[in-house]
């Protein structure tokens, strides 16, 4: 079964174009490093929770939106070597800076336990 990395990060709405550019380069690098699929998403219906929420988790200010994404890998071993390759890839240098505060990004790797594909 696949292995999945996920992230949530706050970003200024004015950085959507920069985030899109950053994401496209990251996707290319990640696919080259063995990822099966990569997706980044932009805040559309992300409410502020009373106790917990995506917004609270990343300390998003009132003038920020939340982005989320995931990377699907064939397995954890491919992910581990792929992430190492990504970090040393020249496309991931200062010419492609993260357009958000990486200190407030939450991320992690997950082993799927139930998967239900749609029927064709």
The answer to whether residue 117 scores a pLDDT higher than 90 is no
The mean pLDDT value of the chain amounts to 94
The answer to whether residue 95 scores a pLDDT higher than 90 is no
Q: What are the sequence ranges of the domains in the chain?
A: 3-110
Centroid of chain to Cα 43: 13
What pLDDT is attached to residue 97? Answer: 82
What share of the chain has pLDDT > 70, as a percent?
Answer: 99
For 63-91, the pLDDT digits (tens) are 999 999 999 999 999 999 999 999 999 99
Q: Give the mean model confidence (pLDDT) for residues 35-55.
A: 95
Q: Cα(108)–Cα(81) distance, rounded to whole angstroms?
A: 16
Angle at 115 between CA 109 and CA 119, to 5 degrees: 140
CATH code of the domain made up of 3-110: 3.30.70.100
Q: Cα(104)–Cα(67) distance, rounded to whole angstroms?
A: 12
């Amino acid at each position: 079964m696949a292995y999945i990395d996920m992230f949530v990060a706050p970003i200024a709405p004015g950085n959507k174009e920069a985030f899109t550019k950053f994401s496209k380069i990251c996707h290319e690098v990640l696919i080259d490093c063995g990822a099966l699929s990569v997706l980044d998403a932009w805040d559309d219906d992300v409410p502020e929770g009373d106790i917990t929420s995506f917004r609270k988790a990343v300390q998003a200010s009132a003038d920020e939106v939340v982005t989320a994404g995931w990377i699907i890998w064939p397995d954890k071993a491919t992910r581990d070597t792929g992430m190492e390759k990504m970090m040393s890839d020249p496309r991931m240098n200062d010419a492609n800076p993260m357009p958000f505060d990486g200190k407030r990004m939450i991320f992690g790797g997950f082993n799927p336990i139930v998967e239900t594909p749609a029927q064709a």
